[in-house]
Structure 1
């Protein structure tokens, strides 16, 4: 069935996800990029105190010598910029298709980076058990790392599916109109 218009619709849940996840990622990336100032005994620790517990389940966040978490934090900055720009384009500038397209790109980047982070954790953790700051319980690992981080797999995938499907429908509709002319 052809769409009624050639405009992509950004679902409200996707917009909400883009804004809330971007705010969380700003906080997260800032913690990493200003380390060691954001860590215990640092002058910014009062802003980032929840990470004192988080680094027990994700030791990359406490390891100042690991470049992977720094790279993923810079990628967070790119993704959240694109996600917030997509919302501005869609709602403020009324550039609906461009906003949807940017959210599709940002969601794809977020999804793939998060999957890579999970893969990295799966293979890296057993290689360096001595690097874990303290012994953690399995339930803590799942509740503080796996479950929350999984949101950055599920919601971006749903955005990719929803917006990508709309874009394909619009393109197929345009293609069908072109063939009939």
Structure 2
């Protein structure tokens, strides 16, 4: 019996696995919270009136000082891009599951996943050079294990999962396009 994804590809319909839908929704909710923390600073920081919603960031800014630096434009720009990505991802899920526009939903989620993965890689590159070029600018002394546990590992999820989404959806889209090209050539 053929798998659901193979059946859909033969019928020129892209299939969005449940894990991709779940990732799109959960990561979007986390990114809304994250971007809102950055874009509402200093109100979201300690002593701010919104701090009760963002209290875990009091610890996070010790491993990622960009989140505590009100003058750094890079973290502000990446936060606005979070809103763009999550809007695309949630719209993709709605297109796929509610409006049954399967190919459109898969394509839009592929685009959002590429954006998320590449933005996170850029964030890591920026972090590496920021730390090496300005080693004394961080107001906090952190241990390597804290940096790995609180920054590297959680942030890596926004490379790994979007890459897997891109790979899974991209392969399907390519098969659908190839199938369509074969049908056009034989007609």
TM-score range for the pair, normalised by the shorter chain length? over 0.9
Q: How does 1:99-178 map to 2 (within 5 A)?
A: 99-178=105-184
Q: What is the TM-score when the length of structure 1 is the normalising length?
A: 0.98
Match of 2:90 in 1: 84
1:20-64 CA distance string (max 9 Å, x none) = 000000000000000000001111011100000000000000000
Alignment partners' CA distance in 1, 2:179 and 2:83: 35
Match of 2:48 in 1: 42
Alignment partners' CA distance in 1, 2:23 and 2:137: 33
Match of 2:37 in 1: 31
Structure 1: segments with no counterpart, 5+ residues: none
Alignment partners' CA distance in 2, 1:131 and 1:99: 43
Alignment partners' CA distance in 2, 1:87 and 1:135: 41
Structure 2: segments with no counterpart, 5+ residues: 1-5
Alignment partners' CA distance in 2, 1:127 and 1:179: 56
1:45-94 CA distance string (max 9 Å, x none) = 11100000000000000000000000000000000000000000000011
For the Cα contact (< 8 Å) 1:55–1:133, is it kept in 2?
no
What SS class does the counterpart of residue 42 from structure 2 fall into?
Answer: coil
Shift of 1:130: 2.3
Q: What is the TM-score when the length of structure 2 is the normalising length?
A: 0.95
Paired residues, number:
181
- Superposition CA RMSD, Å: 1.1
Q: Does 1:19 align with 2:43?
A: no
For the Cα contact (< 8 Å) 2:10–2:176, is it kept in 1?
no
Alignment partners' CA distance in 1, 2:128 and 2:57: 21
Shift of 1:126: 1.7
